[in-house]
Amino acid sequence: MTDQGNEKRVLALDVHPRSFGFVVFEGPNRMLDWGVRSFRSGANAVKIPAATKFLALLDEFRPSAVVIRERLTGRTAKLTRMLATIERQARSRRIPVRRVSRRDVNRAFVGFESNKYEVASALAQQFPALASRLPPRRKCWQSEDYRMGIFDAAALGVADFVRHRTRLPADLVDDSATLQSHVDDSARKNHSAREVEPGSTF
């Protein structure tokens, strides 16, 4: 069950078939925890299943909501099962699951033209604790660094706060407006240096 005292607390997840990135927000301008949880199979299998790792986050932080990406196409069967498990477990604890679309992220990070690395750079500026986790800008032939899952989850959380700020208590409305201002400032600073990479959009 959701903790009445944790109304500002949101768990944002970037879910993939073999891992998920997560960020726990305490309001739009503070992060409590972040990381990547792996549950790959095969020779290098991780023995703790994804469902157990997700439940551990719910039990530790007791968020008021779980935020995930809205996926309209391209789901694998494994990813579909994983998302269904997340929703089922969250709702068993009476925690609502909210979906954030690509459009929501674009609206929250105006000026980045959906470029994931620039969004991640803006997040690292707004949340300095994430700066050490920001991977180098990847080349077109390189696979995406697993740490980008943290930034993708953070982007979903920020977009959710920006999207809902008109329905939040007054203090949170102010906080999310401040966050949007920081993001917009970062977009203007990076505008002249943008470099869109293949396969790097949300």
pLDDT bin (cut points 50, 70, 90) of residue 184 is low
- CATH class as words, domain 4-191: alpha beta
Contact 138, 197 (CB under 8 A): yes
pLDDT value for 97? 96
Question: What predicted TM-score, i.e. pTM, was given to this entire model?
Answer: 0.78
Q: What is the pLDDT of residues 132-152, one digit of tens each?
A: 999 999 888 888 999 999 999
What was the pLDDT predicted at 65?
96
- Going by C-alpha positions, the residue among 106, 113, 117 that lies closest to residue 139 is 117
**pLDDT the model gives residue 113:** 57
CB 99 within 8 A of CB 66: no
Cα 85 to Cα 88: distance, rounded to the nearest angstrom? 5
Predicted confidence at residue 95, as pLDDT, reads 96
Question: pLDDT, tens digit, for every residue of 25-52?
Answer: 999 999 999 999 987 665 555 667 778 8
pLDDT tens string 111-135: 775 588 999 999 999 999 999 999 9
| Phi/psi-derived region of residue 113, left when phi > 0, alpha when psi is between -120 and 50, beta in every other case | left
Domain ranges of the chain: 4-191
